[in-house]
Amino acid sequence: MNLPSKVKIVDVGPRDGLQNEKTQVPAAVKIELVHRLQDAGLTEIEVTSFVSPKWVPQMADAAEVMAGITRKPGVRYSVLTPNMKGFEAALLSRPDEIVVFAAASEAFSQRNINCSIAESIERFRPVAEAARANNIYVRGAISCAVGCPYEGEIAPERVAMVARLLKEIGVQHIGVADTIGVGTPVKVERAMEAALQHYGVDDISGHFHDTYGQALGNTLVSLQMGIWQYDTSSAGLGGCPYAKGATGNVATEDVVYMLQGMGIDTGIDLDKLIDAGKFISDYLDRKPNSRAATALLNKRAG
């Protein structure tokens, strides 16, 4: 097997993980989660979204959360910005990276950001330009890269098309996202191949929700293709408010456990990571949605 020797994990728990929570999580708890993640060795944290509070009320405290973080040198903090209004608000928070989020499905684009794919690209164009003029890195997400809750299976050509459009407007890195976790390894491989038509292997990441328990398999197949960057969520928190029934991203703990077992360096302290996941799970009054965390917590207790 030809595998990368190092993997970069972006913990999206504070954003993707919490955005779907019905009860408002206080900014102080979100900030504490970010602090615990950086203490565990995460160097990339997706903190929040500058989106409409009417659409995603949980992210209404974006500025407060960003302002409350004690920044750790070497850690990069990213935020979602769907349009110029979001970017202008985000800019005051000095993110290292912004994320524009497109979809490979027209129906999902409409439900999630209230416009067509083509319109979304036109909204992202000035965002990408302004970000780059301010020395902020620009990442793009391609939602529903293998399946859509409204359109069903998505052809790899759709992923290639959106990747091309994002490339044309200056997006520097793309995440291939299985928003509803329906992907299986061969389908994910095809979606990655489509993305690779427009971006190099160093500029693509995997973003796998684990609804059907396929995310580790999808991560492994992507690793074998040389993809070495992944979005994961501590304690497996999350889901997208516009993708009903979809559960969280693959748990950071599960991915780190797998990578460590394969001798792949992540720079993350698994014990501290488990504590971070336990912290937020305790706050939400539920068990961590991670097999590795559950097993290791049981081992600690016993």
Rule CB under 6 A: which residues touch ligand HMG?
A: 16, 19, 49-52, 55-56, 80, 82-83, 85-86, 101, 112-114, 141, 143, 177, 179, 207, 209, 240, 242
Residue closest to Mg ion, measured at CB: 16
Among candidate residues 115, 144, 148, 240, the one labeled active-site is 240
For the question of residue 240 being annotated catalytic, the response is yes
Of the listed pieces 10-18, 65-73, 98-106, 221-229, which binds Mg ion according to CB under 5 A?
A: 10-18
Cβ nearer to ligand HMG, comparing 183 with 277: 183
- Give which of ligand HMG, Mg ion, none residue 51 binds (C-beta under 5 to 8 Å, depending on kind): ligand HMG
- Contacted entry of Mg ion, ligand HMG, none for residue 49, CB cut-off 5 to 8 Å set by kind: ligand HMG
Shortest distance, position 142 Cβ to Mg ion, whole Å: 11
In 3D space, the residue among 231, 241, 237, 250 whose CA is nearest the CA of residue 173 turns out to be 231
- The window from 14-22, 23-31, 43-51, 57-65 that contacts Mg ion (CB under 5 A) reads 14-22
Report the chain's C-alpha Rg in angstroms: 17
Least distance from ligand HMG to the Cβ atom of residue 180, Å? 8
User: Do the beta carbons of residue 192 and residue 203 sit within 8 Å?
Assistant: no
61 binding Mg ion? (CB under 5 A): no
- Which of 107-142 are b and which e, b meaning 16 or more Cβ less than 10 Å from the residue's Cβ? ebbbbbbeeebeebbebbbebbebbeeeebbbbbbb
Give the nearest distance from C-beta 160 to ligand HMG in angstroms.
Answer: 17
93, 79 in Cβ contact below 8 A?
A: yes
Would you say 194 and 157 are in contact if contact means Cβ atoms under 8 Å apart? yes
Instruction: Verify binding: residue 16, Mg ion, rule CB under 5 A.
Output: yes
Pick the closer one to Mg ion by CB: 31 or 141.
141
Q: Residues binding Mg ion: what is the number (CB under 5 A)?
A: 1
CA angle 75, 172, 155 (to 5 degrees): 115
Taking the least distance from each CB to Mg ion, the nearer of 219 and 296 is 219
> Do residues 93 and 74 make contact, with C-beta atoms less than 8 angstroms apart?
no
The set of residues, in sequence order, having a beta carbon less than 8 Å from that of 86 and lying 6+ positions away, is 49, 50, 51, 80, 127
d(CA 29, CA 221) in angstroms, rounded, equals 35
Q: Which does 297 bind (CB under 5 to 8 A by kind): ligand HMG, Mg ion, none?
A: none
DSSP for 12-23 reads: -IIIIITTT-SS
Q: Compute CA 219 distance to the chain's CA centroid, rounded to the nearest angstrom.
A: 13
The least CB distance from residue 12 to ligand HMG, in Å, is: 7
Please choose which of Mg ion, ligand HMG, none residue 214 contacts, taking the beta carbon within 5 to 8 angstroms, the exact cut-off set by kind. none
Rounded least distance, CB 271 to Mg ion, Å: 26
Nearer to ligand HMG by Cβ, of 4 and 183: the residue is 183
Orientation angle between helical segments 291-301 and 252-261, nearest 10 degrees: 80
Binder of residue 109, out of ligand HMG, Mg ion, none (CB less than 5 to 8 A by kind): none
Rounded to a whole number of angstroms, the minimum distance from the CB of residue 258 to ligand HMG is: 20
Residue 32 sits in the site that holds Mg ion (CB under 5 A): no
Q: What are the phi and psi torsion angles at 223 (to 5°)?
A: -60, -40
CA 239 remoteness from chain centre: 11
Is residue 13 within 8 A of residue 272, CB to CB? The reply is: no
Is 131 strand, coil or helix?
helix
Contact positions vs Mg ion (CB under 5 A):
16
Instruction: Catalogue the active-site residues.
Output: 240
